[in-house]
Chains A and B, each alone.
Chain A
Amino acid sequence: MQTALHIVVCAGIVPDPLQTLEPITTPAGPGLKNEMVLPAVLDPWAASALYEAAVLAAKAPGSKVWLVSLGPKAKLQQVMMTVAQKVAFELAPIDGPIGGFPDAHATAAVLAETIAKLPGLDRERLLLFGGWESATRGAGVTLQLVGERLGITDQFQGVDQVNLRDDGSFEVLERVEGGKHQVSVCAGAPAVLGWATGNLAEPRNNPQVGMANMRTIMPALQKAPAVKLEANGLSYISVALPKQQRTTRVVKDMSPDEIAAELAAWIGAE
């Protein structure tokens, strides 16, 4: 019999990476051009964490999944309409700035405070999930800082798999160099797990799941506390869009070697 888990997933929202993202300096500090206009998605690594959390929770009856997300309320609402159809969770939203530029310590403090106040959360059973990277800046420290603030010392990063055991312990596969995994065994919760991509495909949109989530998501969004996080004097020293060079042509029956040689020459010419 698996021990019921209390999994809290920290997941921010980011502009869809497939859009044109142009760094600019805004009155509030570094940002992206038209950031509030751009479609947003759940931070991809954190999204993996959410899907893994749902699967693990399903294996341990009585488990519960919370999603703690900090971002502008209006954008959170849009993203949640898609995410809510995929897996079951309870949302704990925080109405804050968009983008990944606020100081990681300040962000971690807000997240930790929110998690500590989650009604019904048993911190002895807490697994704190998130992404080990972020599509915003990739600083990769916020989750660890949240864990520290919550007093959780067992921390794992680059997690691709967690195998639960009946005694409450679990096995963790962390990415290490060379495409290999380091296998660790943790005695049990509480623990912090920063997920890499995991092994799960993105769940399908399930309207039933969405309808169930909606009952808590919209009221939660309406009551989302507002926080102000400063950029702490950060500024761009140098930033530029990756140079886009589009020279599309269609060539049939070209060998892989020829393609590789041409690509190498093309890259070398940059």
Chain B
Amino acid sequence: MSGETTNTSSPGADVVRQTMEVDIACVGFGPATGGFLTTLSRAWAENPADPAFESKVAPGMPLQVVCYERADDIAAGVSGVVTRAQGIRASFPELNPAEIPMAAEVTGERVLYLLDPVGASRRSFTLRAADRALRAVAPVAGVRDHAFELPWTPGFLNKHGGLVMSIGQFNQWVGSQLMASGLVQIWPGTPVSEPLFEPIAAGRAVRGVRLTDQGVDKKGNPEGGFMPGMDVRALLTVVGDGPVGSVSQSIDRELGTPRGYTHDEWALGMKFVIELPEDAVADSPLKPGTVWHTFGYPEPEIFGFLYVHPERLVSVGIFVPSWMTDPSRTAYRYLQHYIQHPALWRYLKDGTLRSWGAKSIDESGKVGEPFLTGDGYARIGENSGSTNMLTGSGVDEAWTTGTQLGEAAIELLRKGLPFTQKNLTETYVTKRRASWVERGAREAQNARNGFHNGIVKGMIGMALAGLTGGRLSLKAPRHVTGIKAARVEETLKRKEAAALAVEDGRPFHDALLSARGWPEIPFDGRLLVSHQDALLMGGKVQAMPGFAEHVVFPDAGLCIACDEKTCIAMCSGQAITLADDGAPTFEREKCVHCGACLWNCAPSPHGEHGNIEFHAGAGGLHSAEN
């Protein structure tokens, strides 16, 4: 079952690596992998004597199934989420939200358009005119606290009957059941560096994964206690490593992507978990299960949310999208301004920040769908293009793609068929194509194209697609390059802000927004705290030593010449800062692995890719309340 092999494929060819044979190796433990493993382990539990579940690599043993998660804990997933839970409830028909900490049934939804009470928001002439008109009729229109509530929640946004959850707690709940089943092993703190490719007649197959080396310096050179990452050879590799996963990146790079594949739309989601004071809840509308969707503030392109969990906990956050044509993209400072909007601040102002988190969200949708299968592997979840950008839903879709692959794997195991691309396509992909996930993805495919031409067109396009089930939409072209060009032409005081950041050590994003006229944050040490302090509240952001840096800037010259420095401005953990020579420097101990830097980087040695490599790494945010 295990042995040793000599590595000949990567630097340090004389490195001797341990090897292990398993039947199924999963990369990343999130909702998608949770769905896959739940489906698989249930089928095994129903009939442990089923020969289909006998290991092919360890005859006489049950199926050997392992899952490697890079974060230090399976509860380290970052997302407060509202979901229709269609797929999740299908897996758990008797689901009782009370069993999952921080989960609640959706009890009410509102959609609010937030006016700008500060005067610093980048609003177009059209939007300003509309705002003025709305303020003029405020008493009649029901504008209160600088917010206009839509009279109804559009059907495509509606999560009625769904769940408000903490993904961290949901993952933990699912993971505990999986581990108790005895079939599945989930290993936290174990990043996977790359897939193992093997030549076959039809090209190349994936034959498992290589775990990340430990006991190395920042550049990956062996030092004291060097432990080469083990090669885990698998008959099926399940890739569910999220929007910036290193295995997904490698497979796309080495095995190619479908024609028309465009993987360039994303958003950075950042949120606070806030505990409300006891006396604030009695008269407040913030009952467990309450969901607010907002748009219009702090910038027109930024969407916001507020979800109420049990026990007076609230998740409140924003999404900063890729089509926001502003190089600041400063999620943390924007989030602080967002919660101070009068419509929210009325209820939040006496609260206490319990934790904070951020992740990037792959919003490419259907056009960002890679090859879902290959010989020896299958892709599930967010990185497989499953997120529905019309409904703003990804967790339920990810879970469902996992269950579909689980059903497919069981079918192939029972038939004794190998995990070839043909067999996986005929089972998994066929199930996916026939499902509500695929229908939703098609309806959403062009729903947000209008945002490339402004917020108003974007909202119109989204409404068109949403109200017609995707039959109508604005066929505006997606032109990310144009956005980047526009960013360069922005007349913001970036250089002055950069100089300020270098001179007095002030965070670059703070300096940027202050230069843009946003008021300073009135820190109170409780809810409004500095970005650095937020890293320490309600959890920890740290990383074990002995791993190489996972964010690498291959060409320092390009970074120094870069005028935007968006990687620094948008870094969720302030792990990337500006050095005196104008180049970004990286501190992996502060990285929360959101991947915003990877998405943001515009300069490219070849004109196609950014100047940032984002590898697998250990550590990151560790807070169970996310």
Question: Does A38 sit within 8 A of B, measured CB to CB?
Answer: yes
Question: Does B123 sit within 8 A of A, measured CB to CB?
Answer: no
Asked whether A250 lies within 8 Å of B505 as measured between CB atoms, the reply is yes
Question: Does B506 sit within 8 A of A, measured CB to CB?
Answer: yes
The minimal Cβ–Cβ distance linking B476 to chain A, given in whole angstroms, is: 43
| Residues of B with C-beta under 8 A to A207 | 20, 68, 187, 190, 211, 230, 232
Q: Which residue of chain A has the shortest Cβ distance to B232 in the bound complex?
A: A207
The minimal Cβ–Cβ distance linking A31 to chain B, given in whole angstroms, is: 14
The A-contacting residues of B in range 538-584, CB under 8 angstroms, are 538-540, 544, 546
Question: Does B343 sit within 8 A of A, measured CB to CB?
Answer: no
| Residues of A with C-beta under 8 A to B189 | 82, 85, 205
Which of A13-21, A146-154, A231-239 interfaces with chain B?
A13-21
0/1 interface trace, chain B 344-361, chain A, CB 8 Å (1 if under): 000000000011000000
| Residues of B with C-beta under 8 A to A78 | 73-75, 172, 175-176
Could you tell me the distance between the alpha carbons of A204 and B624 in the complex, rounded to whole angstroms? 23
Asked whether B540 lies within 8 Å of A36 as measured between CB atoms, the reply is no
Question: Does B400 sit within 8 A of A, measured CB to CB?
Answer: no
0/1 interface trace, chain B 9-41, chain A, CB 8 Å (1 if under): 000000000101000000000000000000000
Question: Does A216 sit within 8 A of B, measured CB to CB?
Answer: no
Asked whether B190 lies within 8 Å of A205 as measured between CB atoms, the reply is yes
The B-contacting residues of A in range 57-97, CB under 8 angstroms, are 74, 77-78, 81-82, 85
Which has the most chain B C-beta neighbours within 10 Å: A20, A206, A210, A250?
A: A20
Question: Does A222 sit within 8 A of B, measured CB to CB?
Answer: yes
Question: Does B373 sit within 8 A of A, measured CB to CB?
Answer: no
The A-contacting residues of B in range 68-103, CB under 8 angstroms, are 68, 72-76, 101-102
Known: A37-B625, A250-B505. A211 touches B525 (CB 8 A): no
Known: A204-B225, A207-B20. A248 touches B74 (CB 8 A): no
Could you tell me the distance between the alpha carbons of A266 and B80 in the complex, rounded to whole angstroms? 37
Question: Does B254 sit within 8 A of A, measured CB to CB?
Answer: no
Question: Does B256 sit within 8 A of A, measured CB to CB?
Answer: no
Asked whether A205 lies within 8 Å of B101 as measured between CB atoms, the reply is no
Which of B178-186, B242-250, B276-284 interfaces with chain A?
B178-186
Known: A81-B186, A204-B214, A211-B185. A37 touches B622 (CB 8 A): no
| Residues of B with C-beta under 8 A to A163 | none
Question: Does A29 sit within 8 A of B, measured CB to CB?
Answer: no
| Residues of B with C-beta under 8 A to A214 | 185
Asked whether A19 lies within 8 Å of B539 as measured between CB atoms, the reply is yes
Q: Which residue of chain B has the shortest Cβ distance to A247 in the bound complex?
A: B525
Q: Which residue in A20, A36, A81, A82 is a CB contact (below 8 Å) of B354?
A: A20
The B-contacting residues of A in range 17-63, CB under 8 angstroms, are 18-20, 34, 36-39
Q: Which residue in B76, B169, B227 is a CB contact (below 8 Å) of A37?
A: B169
0/1 interface trace, chain A 237-253, chain B, CB 8 Å (1 if under): 00000001111101110
Asked whether B529 lies within 8 Å of A246 as measured between CB atoms, the reply is yes
Known: A205-B190, A250-B506. A34 touches B73 (CB 8 A): no
Chain B interface extent, by class = 35 or more
| Residues of B with C-beta under 8 A to A77 | 176, 179-180
Asked whether A20 lies within 8 Å of B538 as measured between CB atoms, the reply is yes
Could you tell me the distance between the alpha carbons of A18 and B172 in the complex, rounded to whole angstroms? 19
Could you tell me the distance between the alpha carbons of A85 and B232 in the complex, rounded to whole angstroms? 15
Asked whether A206 lies within 8 Å of B227 as measured between CB atoms, the reply is yes
Asked whether A18 lies within 8 Å of B230 as measured between CB atoms, the reply is no
Question: Does A202 sit within 8 A of B, measured CB to CB?
Answer: yes
| Residues of A with C-beta under 8 A to B489 | none
Which has the most chain B C-beta neighbours within 10 Å: A36, A81, A221?
A: A81
The minimal Cβ–Cβ distance linking B308 to chain A, given in whole angstroms, is: 16
Question: Does B532 sit within 8 A of A, measured CB to CB?
Answer: yes
On B, residues with C-beta under 8 Å from A are 2, 18, 20, 66, 68, 72-76, 101-102, 169, 172, 175-176, 179-180, 182, 185-190, 211, 214-215, 225, 227, 230, 232, 311, 354-355, 504-506, 523, 525, 529-530, 532-533, 536-540, 544, 546, 622-625
Known: A81-B187, A218-B182. 7 other contacts (CB 8 A): A18-B540, A34-B625, A82-B189, A204-B544, A221-B180, A246-B529, A250-B504
Name 29 A/B residue pairs within 8 A (Cβ), A-sorted.
A16-B540, A18-B539, A20-B354, A34-B311, A34-B625, A37-B624, A37-B625, A39-B73, A39-B623, A78-B74, A78-B75, A81-B179, A81-B185, A82-B73, A82-B188, A204-B227, A204-B546, A205-B187, A207-B68, A208-B2, A208-B18, A218-B179, A219-B182, A222-B182, A246-B523, A248-B529, A248-B532, A250-B504, A250-B505
Closest 9 CB pairs of A and B: A250-B505, A18-B540, A248-B530, A246-B525, A37-B101, A204-B214, A246-B533, A39-B624, A20-B538
